[in-house]
């Protein structure tokens, strides 16, 4: 039914490709491309029981000219971008040049500035609209499912949502003293940046990991959750009616925080190049090379994740509290697709967004965040594709 080009061959890509192949009635053909073709081949070779035709190629996703040539040769309906967020704009440019739809899981971030915002991609809205193309931004879990959850809550339970707390808990244990569950460079840049949250139409900035709360997550237990800035705050503050405050919290163990503080104190998390024997090296790039590859954590990680949103607002002038969340088991994910739950919870939603676009359910010209589409078909697919959701109408709010 649909041909897709998937760019990137990391842990999330592994999930996207395999889940697309499990839905071969929608995804008839996949071209998997990344800088290292052998990584693409390794993913392809694990898929033996699908009717989806899968081929691989080498591509430099920073090079728009190369991308244009590859897209013109393969002629996909959609490009699924699960490469690095630095490459979002070059891939969007290639999609516009070749008249192909676009989907990603994380917003653009310049390589030399640890700052991620939607402004760069939102600037493409009129160009995609004029071309009759759809660009779906942030279709992972957070961002992604958290946005769909918010649209679903707004559609079914609220007239206005005043407060949103997004809670991301990972109760998994991989046995390493220190490792990141997704790309170390992106992960550490995100955590060591200043925190931010939206309140009363203003951004409130905090120091990195300054605000901590303890929360008792179902099937995960009590965890320390730290306030971070996350990109869906920007789009939800813009798109959800009535917002007075929206915050994002992610859990980290004390062991993780201790290691991170030491690395930061000795300069290993810096993106400012230093000269070593005549070669300029970013310390964070070096650190990324010595840390465990997130894709290798799948068979080791045990435990569960719990990611969701707590909403407070009004319906028919009456107060409503509502909690919408997903619990995902690391080992169950590994048995299904050979990846841990962090990759799974990002990759499955990307496949679902692509499926809905190809089916015409999420297709309209322009550049959109996921909460700007009808949430109901996506919510149905979550239950069918391995990420069932739960709801609670008496949640304990974050203080």
CB atoms closer than 10 angstroms to residue 116: 21
Q: In degrees, to the nearest 5, what angle opens at C-alpha 153 toward C-alphas 150 and 154?
A: 85
What pLDDT does 272 receive?
85
Q: Are strands 195-199 and 202-206 parallel, antiparallel or unpaired?
A: antiparallel
pLDDT at 261: 81
pLDDT for 269 equals: 83
Each residue's pLDDT tens digit, 317-372? 999 999 999 999 999 999 999 999 999 999 999 999 999 999 999 999 999 999 99
pLDDT at residue number 38:
97
For the ranges 275-289, 299-313, 354-368, 383-397, which has the lowest average pLDDT? 275-289
For CA atoms 190, 245, 107, 338, the dihedral sign is positive
Concatenating the DSSP letter of every residue in 132-188 gives: T-EEEE--BTTTBHHHHHHHHHHHHH-SEEEEEEEEEEE--B-S-SS--SS-HHHHH
Residue holding tokens 């630095």?
A: 86
Report for 24-33, 248-257, 282-291: range of highest mean pLDDT: 24-33
What tens digit of pLDDT does each residue of 98-112 get? 999 999 999 998 877
Single pTM value for the model: 0.93
Q: What is the mean predicted confidence (pLDDT) over 276-299?
A: 81
Q: In the prediction, which pLDDT does 6 show?
A: 98
Mean predicted confidence (pLDDT) in 145-149: 98
Residue 397 has pLDDT above 80, yes or no: no
Position 175 confidence tier, pLDDT thresholds 50, 70, 90? confident
Rounded to the nearest integer, the mean pLDDT of the chain is 93
Q: Which domains does the chain have, with CATH numbers?
A: 145-337 (3.30.360.10)
pLDDT at 114 (0 to 100): 66
Contact between residue 394 and residue 321 where contact means Cβ atoms under 8 Å apart = yes
Q: Are 333 and 344 in contact (CB under 8 A)?
A: yes
What is the full DSSP assignment across 231-270? THHHHHHHHSTT-SEEEEEEE--HHHHHHHHHHHHTTTT-
Q: Looking up tokens 């007239």, which residue turns up? A: 159
Give the percent of the chain with pLDDT over 90: 77
182 band by pLDDT with thresholds 50, 70 and 90? low
Q: Cα 147 to the chain's mean position, in Å? A: 11
pLDDT-based confidence at residue 148 (cuts at 50, 70, 90) = very high
Q: What is the pLDDT of residues 48-73, one digit of tens each?
A: 999 999 999 999 999 999 999 999 99
Amino acid 181: pLDDT: 67
pLDDT at 298 over 80: no
Confidence of residue 87 (pLDDT cuts 50, 70, 90): very high
pLDDT above 70: percentage of residues in the chain? 99
Q: Which residue has the tokens 């920073």?
A: 62
**Taking 90 as the threshold, does the pLDDT of residue 136 lie above it?**
yes
Q: Where are the alpha helices (DSSP H) in 240-395?
A: 254-265, 283-290, 330-337, 341-358, 375-385
Question: pLDDT at position 42, please?
Answer: 97
Specify the pLDDT at position 396.
73
CA separation for the pair 337, 321 (Å, rounded): 35
Confidence band (pLDDT; 50, 70, 90) for 223?
Answer: very high
Sign, CA torsion 24/25/26/27:
positive
Q: What is the pLDDT of residue 243?
A: 97
């Amino acid at each position: 039914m649909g041909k897709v080009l998937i760019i990137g061959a990391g842990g999330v890509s592994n999930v996207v490709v395999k889940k697309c192949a499990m839905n071969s009635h929608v995804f008839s053909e996949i071209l998997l491309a990344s800088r290292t073709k052998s990584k693409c081949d390794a993913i392809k070779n694990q898929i033996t029981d699908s009717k989806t035709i899968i081929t691989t190629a080498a591509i430099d996703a920073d090079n728009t000219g190369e991308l244009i040539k590859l897209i013109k040769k393969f002629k996909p309906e959609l490009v699924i971008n699960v490469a690095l967020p630095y490459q979002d704009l070059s891939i969007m440019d290639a999609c516009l040049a070749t008249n192909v739809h676009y989907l990603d899981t994380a917003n653009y971030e310049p390589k030399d500035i640890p700052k991620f915002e939607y402004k760069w991609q939102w600037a493409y809205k009129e160009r995609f609209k004029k071309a009759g193309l759809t660009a779906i931004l942030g279709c992972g879990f957070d961002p992604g499912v958290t946005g769909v959850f918010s649209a679903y809550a707004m559609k079914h339970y609220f007239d206005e949502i005043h407060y949103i707390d997004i809670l991301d808990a990972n109760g998994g244990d991989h046995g390493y003293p220190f490792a990141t569950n997704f790309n170390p460079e992106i992960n550490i840049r995100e955590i060591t940046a200043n925190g931010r949250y939206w309140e009363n139409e203003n951004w409130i900035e905090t120091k990195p990991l300054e605000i901590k709360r303890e929360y008792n997550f179902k099937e995960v237990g009590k965890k320390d959750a730290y306030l971070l800035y996350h990109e869906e705050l920007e789009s939800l503050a813009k798109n959800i009616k009535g917002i007075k405050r929206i915050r994002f919290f992610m859990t980290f163990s004390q062991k993780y925080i201790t290691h991170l503080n030491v690395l930061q104190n000795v300069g290993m998390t810096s993106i400012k190049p230093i000269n070593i024997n005549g070669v300029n090296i970013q310390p964070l790039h070096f650190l990324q090379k010595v840390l465990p590859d997130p894709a290798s954590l799948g068979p080791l990680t045990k435990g569960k994740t719990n990611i969701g949103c707590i909403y407070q607002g009004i319906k028919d002038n009456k107060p409503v509290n509502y909690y919408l969340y997903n619990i995902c088991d690391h080992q169950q994910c590994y048995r299904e697709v050979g990846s841990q739950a962090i990759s799974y919870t990002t990759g499955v939603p990307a496949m679902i967004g692509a499926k809905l676009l190809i089916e015409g359910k999420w297709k309209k010209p322009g550049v959109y965040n996921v909460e700007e589409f009808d949430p109901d078909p996506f919510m149905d697919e979550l239950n069918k594709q391995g990420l069932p959701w739960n709801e609670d109408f008496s949640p304990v709010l974050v203080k």
